[in-house]
Amino acid sequence: MLTLLVAATAFWTKPFDNSLEWRTIPRYIVNCRMYRFFLLLAVIIATTVCLYTGAAWYAPALAAAALGVLLPVWRRGGFWFAFLGGVLVWGIYTGYLHLDSEGRLSDRLAVTFGVGSGWALVGVTALWGGITTGLGAWFGVSLRKVLEKTPVKQA
């Protein structure tokens, strides 16, 4: 067991090129994955709090934008993980409201909007919530990327 540990340590500390070492690559990838998980969890919590308090429909997008600024994730990952969190929370919440009202209101609104059934309206609402939270996080990550850039020095 000890020889395996020594061999693995020697392999990961072997330099990849002049500027990057092998042992920094897995740590960076793990940190990115952890930040994406924290973004997903925080978006789920923030969207749940926004829906519980009765905030406006765009409040989860503002919360996702703030989380995108704070957590160092990439634009694509920021969008998709916030989209997933928004779809989950909005879908579960509107599905609960549909079941709680026995479909009275959502079935009537589905006929008004021409969607077909109340469950289709639940799906459209979940998709809309996912898109708004995803775009909010994408905006936040893009804003952080713009603010991180250092100005070019004039010669």
- The rounded mean pLDDT for the chain is 77
pLDDT at 12 over 60: no
Q: Is the separation of the CB atoms in 98 and 125 below 8 Å?
A: no
Mean pLDDT of 2-9: 40
Is residue 132 within 8 A of residue 46, CB to CB? The reply is: no
Residues whose CB falls within 8 Å of the CB of residue 105, separated by 6 or more in sequence, listed in order: 97
User: Tokens for 86?
Assistant: 């928004």
Please state the separation of Cα 136 from the chain's center in Å. 9
pLDDT confidence bin for 9, thresholds 50/70/90: very low
First to last CA, the chain: 57
Q: Are 133 and 83 spatial neighbours (Cβ–Cβ below 8 Å)?
A: yes
Percent of the chain predicted with pLDDT > 70 = 74
Residue 32, pLDDT score: 59
Cα separation, 142 vs 86, in Å, equals 19
